[in-house]
Amino acid sequence: MLARWLESEQGRYVLDWELAQFDNAVDDIFGYHALQIGLPEHDFLRENRIPHKTIIGSDVGVAVRARAWELPIATNSVDLVVLPHVLEFSEHAHRILREADRVLMPDGSIVISGFNPLSLWGAKHALGYARGEYPWEGRLIGLSRLRDWLSLLSFEQNGGKFGCYAPPFRSAKWLERWSFMEKAGDRWWPIAGGAYVVRAIKRTVGMRLVMPPWREKRTSAKALAPVAQRGNASRGLSARNSGEVKLER
């Protein structure tokens, strides 16, 4: 179980770095509702000031029990979603991202963490040295692939960082001895960190700014030609079933 591994010396090394990155990623995101999916033992929203925060997942300790790819949350009702190592330990990674996209409001933010396959940590996974052990039994997702998935859903990446450059030693003593690699790695091989955290914004194509009538009259004379407007893509979107949680503003 990932939560148990994060309590080990090796896991704590990764967790401490990731919590610091999540703190930086979410502290300037505002709104009314934020969701953390999975890992209820750790608060990845602790530095965010959104008033209503909910942890959803299938683990004990969550506020709402649900599968990450079938969220009981109304469409376009959430301002921030965080996914700490959710995608690589699920067989439904694409569906989870689609659900996050569905519940997020336009210009809502998503923050994702994962293990980097192009690193010393990823090499241990690829060579099968730790088969059946956490975190190497997950399906590691490279950052370039994750960017492609986000782009297909019209997300725009606006932040991210690699870290955890030390080899995957189990002992805190050896991890400390190799701590010099953090600064060296960040400078000389920045894409080879053992873990990454990425932030992206949901962009909605075809949105139209509705202006007051008096403003429209003033600007109509300057318009060169009428612009065809797309239909409202979200007209048919609604809560999926009666069991969904409607997050009131």
**pLDDT above 60: residue 74:** yes
Determine, yes or no, domain membership for 231: no
Domain that residue 37 falls in: 2-220
Determine, yes or no, domain membership for 249: no
**pLDDT above 90: residue 185:** no
Could you read off the pLDDT of 99-136 as tens digits, one per residue? 999 999 999 999 999 999 999 888 876 766 666 677 87
Burial (CB count <10 Å: 0-12, 13-18, 19+), residue 159: middle
pLDDT confidence band for 201 (50 / 70 / 90): very high
pLDDT confidence band for 20 (50 / 70 / 90): very high
Determine, yes or no, domain membership for 241: no
Determine, yes or no, domain membership for 45: yes
Q: How many domains does the chain have?
A: 1
> Can you read off the two tokens belonging to residue 181?
């690699």
Determine, yes or no, domain membership for 171: yes
pLDDT confidence band for 138 (50 / 70 / 90): confident
Write down the pTM of the prediction: 0.80
Determine, yes or no, domain membership for 243: no
Could you read off the pLDDT of 206-221 as tens digits, one per residue? 655 555 554 444 444 4
pLDDT confidence band for 188 (50 / 70 / 90): confident
Whole-number Å distance between alpha carbons of 124 and 204: 39
Determine, yes or no, domain membership for 172: yes
**pLDDT above 90: residue 240:** no
**pLDDT above 70: residue 230:** no
| Partners of 112 in the β-ladder | 83, 198
Determine, yes or no, domain membership for 240: no
**CA quadruple 72, 3, 51, 149: dihedral positive or negative?**
negative
Mean pLDDT of 16-36: 97
The CATH number of residue 115's host domain is: 3.40.50.150
CA distances from 184 to 66, 87, 121, 143, 241 (A): 42, 29, 17, 21, 51
**pLDDT above 70: residue 171:** yes
